[in-house]
A and B are shown apart, each in its own frame.
Chain A
Amino acid sequence: MKKNIKFYSGAELVAKAAIDAGCRFFGGYPITPSSEIAEHMSKELPKVGGTFIQMEDEIAAMGSIIGASLAGVKSLTATSGPGFSLKQENLGYAYMAEVPCVICNVMRGGPSTGLPTALAQADIMQAKWGTHGDHPVIALTPAYLEEVYELTIKAFNFSEMYRIPVIILLDELIAHLSTAIELPDKDLLVIKNRKGPTVKPEKYFPYDTAYGDVPPMADFFKGYRYHVTGLSHDKTGFPTTDPDLVQADQERHIRKVNANKGKIIDFEYYKMRDADIVIFAYGSTSRAARVAIDKARKLGIKVGMMRLRVIWPLPEAEILKLCSKVKAIIVPEMNLGQLSNVIEKFAADRTKIVGINHVGGVPIHPSNILDVIKEVK
């Protein structure tokens, strides 16, 4: 019998999962359609002795969660497009200084104030390239409420395992959806925590690669007294302009995620066994695609879906394989082709990429997708 069944909204599940993952600090700034997450955190955090603070803007919110994390407390912020733009400089800082934290971006239409209350998947590329410089990105795209809970916990785990800010790209539709769902047993959750130093303070370096590409992280006030900067730094944490050190460090950042891709990449196949047309989707649009696929199958069309639960890093090898196997890949997105442009590069001339691109705020309807399936058949 199912037991843990309750009504939850997507926003509520982000908050609940965060707290279950051990998050005890939230710094935020209200923005539609993400504000409910802040509201839930303001209500729930004090109950577990955690801290909620509404900062003066998103720049401050991002700074505050980095500070709290350095002090040893798992931290979350939530925002939407314009706020995500404001966070970019400090987000870059978190990449550079390798500070674990989680940013939930409930996407809305853009550019600028755009469509505050409507569905969009406008920040796929902002998540990838929003801040300057090269850095790896981990971004998750839940499509179901159960998945919001599961992937939020995963986001915290990834951030702690790889010392990296992790982004949840949530669709407005899913943040605001409410249904009864069954949550996993709390005792069965896998919760990861950052690895601390195993050496005495005299022997500790905050960016010591002797322990691998993810250096052990000492929390502030634990006797380690080290320096953190957003400037390029050596293993001691102090600035360096040595070209070789800078090059090696930037490459290590990329590598620490790339080398662990196998553990991070996460996608799901749907009716793919005999498919010669594939829908490549993520988030809420994948739900419309599923309906369209079921209908097309009834018409005898061999169509399936590859659905991304983690959008960055991309499962490149699998996409490449797909490109040489199928006659068309359909990419429905609530933007003007942010992901399909990338898939096109993989495809080269091997298969046809067809985008379905809505930016008017109205969800892509299964019939829109079915029409395209019939066309490319």
Chain B
Amino acid sequence: MAFDYEKYLRMEKIPHLWCPGCGIGVVLKSMLRAIDNLDWHRDDTAFVSGIGCTSRAPGYIDCNTLHTTHGRGLTFATGIKMAKPDKNVVIFSGDGDATAIGGNHFIHACRRNIDMTLIIVNNNIYGMTGGQHSPTTPIGFKASTTIYGNIDPSFDICLLARAAGATYVARSTVNNGRTLEKYIQKGLANKGFSVIEAVSNCHTQFGRKNNMSDPISSRKWIKDREIPLAKARSMKADDLKNMVITGEFISEESDMERWENYNRALEEYTKAYGDLIKKVKKKK
């Protein structure tokens, strides 16, 4: 039976404002399937975002939804989750929103390991503002502010999240909706801070400037660069330049080196704070 997306959408808000063929819709649908798999209740769930095309996603979801300021979605979400630790909080963010203006909040949310899930739609560009380069625009590519070719090195969002302490980290692309669904579901289920990077196409703002102005060629450009993490491990660094390494970077089953674990959160944050309250109250 076909999945009933309408159960979770504010149908009166459709048609959405995204360009036809934009990858954000794939991510949104994968996310809705994931919350359905987990049987999450709409009243108990909040979707929070910053500013950008990606950040418009919560507005279409029939839950408690909060569209905040550019890059700051995580800070509002932290307040919600700390105030109501038993509720579900999911954050949508663009690559610019999460790693440029909101980069500080991003690493600190990872470090705290609060039980929330951050979904970053990485389209390698500032979509909403007309295609300026972002911290994930590959070197040599064009944006409206890098017409001679970008010279800014990129962040690797997943490695950043892993180093900062997130306890579930995975990357897939809009070419693999089912995998995105699986990763998002694992992220939502993880009792800690989860980051799912969904590499996506912005043919309108990124593609157009780089000879792939339609969704198909833009998605093919992504597809051709996908390399599973396991395979990437045996490849030379030079061959991995500008590639999209997909897979789970941190999960319960992941094979992290021991030394990488030495500073990792021992506990989910709201649980640790709940224990602190109990301890203080007992003393009183």
Contact = CB atoms under 8 A, between A and B. Distances in A.
A60 B108 contact: yes
B62 A65 contact: no
B75 A230 contact: no
A346 to B, nearest CB: 35
A63 B69 contact: yes
Contact of B76 (A67, A225, A226): A67
Given A63-B69, A63-B72, A67-B77, A221 B44 contact: yes
Contact of B67 (A27, A47, A75, A228): A228
B83 interface: yes
A211 B20 CA distance: 40
Given A46-B280, A59-B75, A225 B66 contact: no
B34 interface: no
Nearest to A62: B75
Which bucket holds chain A's interface residue count? 35 or more
Contacts of B63: 225
B231 interface: no
Contacts of B43: 221-223, 225
Given A56-B105, A59-B75, A229-B59, A67 B67 contact: no
Given A221-B44, A228-B65, A68 B277 contact: no
Interface centre among A46, A57, A221 (most CB of B within 10 A): A221
Interface centre among A25, A90, A225 (most CB of B within 10 A): A225
Contact of B82 (A47, A62, A64, A227): A64
A331 B207 CA distance: 61
Nearest to A90: B69
A204 interface: no
A72 B65 contact: no
B65 A67 contact: no
Contacts of A93: 68-69
Interface string A1-37: 0000000000000000000000011010000000000
A68 to B, nearest CB: 4
Interface of A: 24-25, 27, 46-47, 49, 51, 53, 55-57, 59-73, 75, 89-90, 93, 220-231, 238-239
Interface of B: 13, 42-44, 46, 48, 58-59, 62-69, 72, 74-84, 87, 104-105, 108, 273, 276-277, 280-281, 284
Given A25-B79, A51-B83, A70-B79, 15 more contacts: A53-B78, A57-B104, A59-B75, A60-B105, A68-B82, A69-B79, A71-B79, A220-B46, A221-B64, A223-B43, A225-B43, A227-B65, A227-B67, A230-B69, A238-B59
